[in-house]
Amino acid sequence: MSKFNIRFLPYDKSIEIDAETTILKASIMAGVHINAPCGGKGTCGKCLIKVKEGEHDTKFTPQLTEENKGKGYLLGCQTRPKGDMVIEVPIESQIRPGEKIATGAKKEELHRLFMELAGEVQPRTKKICLKLTPPSIDDPVADLERLKRELSNLGFHTDHFHCGLPFLRKLGKTLRDENWDVTVTLYQSGTALEALDIQPKNLCGIRYGAAVDIGTTSVVVYLVNLINGDIVDVASSYNAQARCGDDVISRIVYATEMNGLDELQRLVVDNINHLLSGIAKKHGIDLGLIDKIVVTGNTTMTHLFYGIDPESIRLEPYVPAVFLFPVIRAKAVGISIHEQAPLYSFPNVASYVGGDIVAGVLTSRIHTKEGTSLFIDVGTNGEIVLGNKEWMMTCACSAGPCFEGSGVKFGMRAMEGAIEKVDIDPVTLDATYNVIGNVKPIGICGSGMIDALAEMYLTGVIDQKGRFREGLDTPRIRHGESGMEYVLVWRVESGIDKEITLTEVDIDNLIRAKGAIYAGFTTLLGEVGMTFNDIDKLYIAGGFGRFIDIERAITIGMLPDMPVEKFEYLGNTSVTGAYLVLLSDKLREEAEEIAKKMTYLELSVCRPFMDEYMSALFLPHTNIDSFPTVKRLLNEVGNVKL
């Protein structure tokens, strides 16, 4: 089949494809980042492209709005070449991988937390300096047995000693070249002892580890000094898999129905390698000195990272292949650090509650507290844990990545150009807003959506069901292509040469997402016969947590109406947990205990959840009395008659 050259602007990257391949697929192959939340299935209408040159075939689906059609946009997933083409990727569908991601708390705070919890740096891999007695005719013990003898003298168990071929092959030469004065890297697990590497003397004081959080949306890497626990540096980026779908379900579909498992595996591994090598290089650290890596992620993300078929995760009865991954070599999955470095991954609890949530619990310490806490990780999904030192229950609300931009017409992630804060004047009903980076706005991110929803509700633009009220005197409320909409940004102020609006469909999606989260809280509480009054603390984790305005999240009924001081932001607890376990074997065992202790509640087959969810599809809730603060606010504004 003949091949056509496709050139992408503004990146100026090119790729050869055949006539069967879509422009979206071509962009993935070319390393061009086009936003495609549905993974190319044609359902999200986000992968907008503009054909500058070249013959092509395209299908016009309802997902391509009239306005976008008018601007000459096509959908990348519906367009195939009939000759060489030049494609422009408009700003709305660009993913900018260099953007800054929430990377957790400050370095010093984390180190303090670690010292408080573990007391000392004691990772499972050790580096020790050994001075061996050289062999003689009277002591002709082989090199390996000589090493084992010395380790045994130092108190190590050597009955279950192991080492791999690379170690054996360098053992004799290193011992002799270094005059029997060497550094040995060991991995200890129970009574099993493995020698990972042998190097010149006095390298015991130089070693590093990597803590990695593989989020559905973003990847965060900590480079850690394994001697003193210091965080050398942090790097982050959007998860390179995002171009194959925004949420875990799209990724699973891409991996299975579109045969993309290998591609997804490679994308995230390359992503991590790229981040790691970047900071290692910056600090002049050889990647070979990184001899340990700990990874956290949700169940789907870790399965994809290991290259394990995730299909059963999305099919009833929702069973993954693995809860606790065996420790393997990082090299086996393609991570480019010390070739013998072990890879540890946090244990999963269920198909939709993964190791990232175990890491969250480990960080929040709710498993050690007398009082009962709630924990929520608001990321691409919303996972909730309820419990204390005696018991823990967990569930996952399929809130979807709504607050990360998916399912909202002008939704986008919290990056430059995103509206992150909105105020609406209760009299004029005009909007004012803050934009990340102080540029012209190109969309609206999660915190902006919560603000907008809260403000529209308080000012009476929309009613309790999220419907636009009739007869309000403002040009901002109008009939758009997909029904009623509120104009947040006029075209002249906009960075994308068109109005930025919130539609009734958007509002519906947001209400469903916030309703799912709230219903998750109340369902878990109901299971154990508790109410929010029994809760001492509600911990909020996730990159999202950095920007969220708690009072407004209460206003829309996403968070319960509790005193503000009971809420605590923890930031990215997934990477914090990885950092803690990287440094301490004790905390690693604690993490595995946490996973065993958690009881999972599958909401999709839970009748009470459906009732709770239906009641939560109102602003803030069908039962306004459970939101006294909101009731008071409404009275103050006075636009809404309760």
Q: Applying CB under 8 A, does 140 fall inside the site for a copy of itself?
A: yes
Residue from the set 323, 532, 599, 610 that interacts with a copy of itself by CB under 8 A: 323
Q: Which is nearer to a copy of itself, 69 or 162 (CB)?
A: 162
Ranges within 166-225 binding a copy of itself (CB under 8 A): 168-169, 171-173, 176, 190, 192
**Cross-strand partners of 167:** none
3-state secondary structure 206-236: CCEEEEEEECCCEEEEEEEECCCCCEEEEEE
Ranges within 268-307 binding a copy of itself (CB under 8 A): 306-307
Residue from the set 132, 279, 322, 562 that interacts with a copy of itself by CB under 8 A: 322
Q: Applying CB under 8 A, does 3 fall inside the site for a copy of itself?
A: no
Helix orientation angle between 299-306 and 248-256, rounded to the nearest 10 degrees:
30
Q: Select the span of 22-30, 106-114, 134-142, 280-288 touching a copy of itself (CB under 8 A).
A: 134-142
Residue from the set 9, 154, 328, 528 that interacts with a copy of itself by CB under 8 A: 328
* 11: its two tokens: 């990146």
Q: Tell me the C-alpha distance between 605 and 395, whole Å.
A: 12
Q: Select the span of 179-187, 344-352, 390-398, 579-587 touching a copy of itself (CB under 8 A).
A: 344-352
Residue from the set 318, 339, 393, 482 that interacts with a copy of itself by CB under 8 A: 318
SS3 of residue 39 by DSSP:
coil
Give the nearest distance from C-beta 90 to a copy of itself in angstroms.
39
* 275: its two tokens: 């981040």
Residue from the set 3, 112, 131, 160 that interacts with a copy of itself by CB under 8 A: 160
Q: Applying CB under 8 A, does 47 fall inside the site for a copy of itself?
A: no
How many other C-beta atoms are found inside a 10 Å radius of the C-beta of residue 319?
11
Q: Applying CB under 8 A, does 589 fall inside the site for a copy of itself?
A: no
DSSP readout, 553-569?
HHHTTSS----GGGEEE
Q: Tell me the C-alpha distance between 443 and 440, whole Å.
A: 9
Give the nearest distance from C-beta 134 to a copy of itself in angstroms.
9
Whether omega before 620 lies within 30 degrees of 0, making that bond cis, reads yes
C-beta of residue 204 within 8 angstroms of C-beta of residue 231: no
* 130: its two tokens: 């050994």
C-beta of residue 511 within 8 angstroms of C-beta of residue 614: no
Q: Tell me the C-alpha distance between 229 and 226, whole Å.
A: 5
* 185: its two tokens: 């890297």
Q: Which is nearer to a copy of itself, 200 or 628 (CB)?
A: 200
Q: Applying CB under 8 A, does 141 fall inside the site for a copy of itself?
A: yes
Q: Which is nearer to a copy of itself, 208 or 305 (CB)?
A: 305
Q: Select the span of 324-332, 393-401, 485-493, 584-592 touching a copy of itself (CB under 8 A).
A: 324-332
How many other C-beta atoms are found inside a 10 Å radius of the C-beta of residue 394?
23
- Pattern 594-623, binding to a copy of itself, x per CB under 8 A? ------x-x--x------------------
Q: Which is nearer to a copy of itself, 242 or 267 (CB)?
A: 267
119 DSSP assignment:
S
Q: Applying CB under 8 A, does 324 fall inside the site for a copy of itself?
A: yes
Q: Which is nearer to a copy of itself, 115 or 315 (CB)?
A: 315
User: Which residues, 6+ apart, have CB-to-CB distance to 266 below 8 Å?
Assistant: 334
C-beta of residue 80 within 8 angstroms of C-beta of residue 22: yes
SS3 of residue 41 by DSSP:
coil
Q: Applying CB under 8 A, does 470 fall inside the site for a copy of itself?
A: no
Q: Applying CB under 8 A, does 164 fall inside the site for a copy of itself?
A: yes
* 542: its two tokens: 């996730």
Q: Which is nearer to a copy of itself, 302 or 447 (CB)?
A: 302
**Cross-strand partners of 428:** none
Query: At 196, which helix (H) or strand (E)?
Result: strand 192-200
Q: Applying CB under 8 A, does 375 fall inside the site for a copy of itself?
A: no
Q: Applying CB under 8 A, does 350 fall inside the site for a copy of itself?
A: yes
Query: How many Å is the Cα radius of gyration of the chain?
Result: 27
**Cross-strand partners of 537:** 373
* 268: its two tokens: 């995230």
Q: Select the span of 43-51, 202-210, 327-335, 477-485 touching a copy of itself (CB under 8 A).
A: 327-335
Give the nearest distance from C-beta 589 to a copy of itself in angstroms.
13
Give the nearest distance from C-beta 326 to a copy of itself in angstroms.
5
Give the nearest distance from C-beta 347 to a copy of itself in angstroms.
10
Q: Applying CB under 8 A, does 156 fall inside the site for a copy of itself?
A: no
H and E: helices and strands count for the chain:
18, 29
Give the nearest distance from C-beta 578 to a copy of itself in angstroms.
20
Q: Applying CB under 8 A, does 129 fall inside the site for a copy of itself?
A: no
Q: Applying CB under 8 A, does 393 fall inside the site for a copy of itself?
A: no
C-beta of residue 214 within 8 angstroms of C-beta of residue 295: yes
Q: Applying CB under 8 A, does 308 fall inside the site for a copy of itself?
A: yes
Cα 40 to Cα 139, 251, 269, 442, 458: the distances in Å are 68, 10, 22, 22, 38
Q: Which is nearer to a copy of itself, 309 or 504 (CB)?
A: 309
Q: Applying CB under 8 A, does 62 fall inside the site for a copy of itself?
A: no
Which residues sit at the interface with a copy of itself, rule CB under 8 A? 135-137, 139-146, 159-165, 168-169, 171-173, 176, 190, 192, 306-309, 311-312, 316-328, 332-333, 348, 350-351, 600, 602, 605
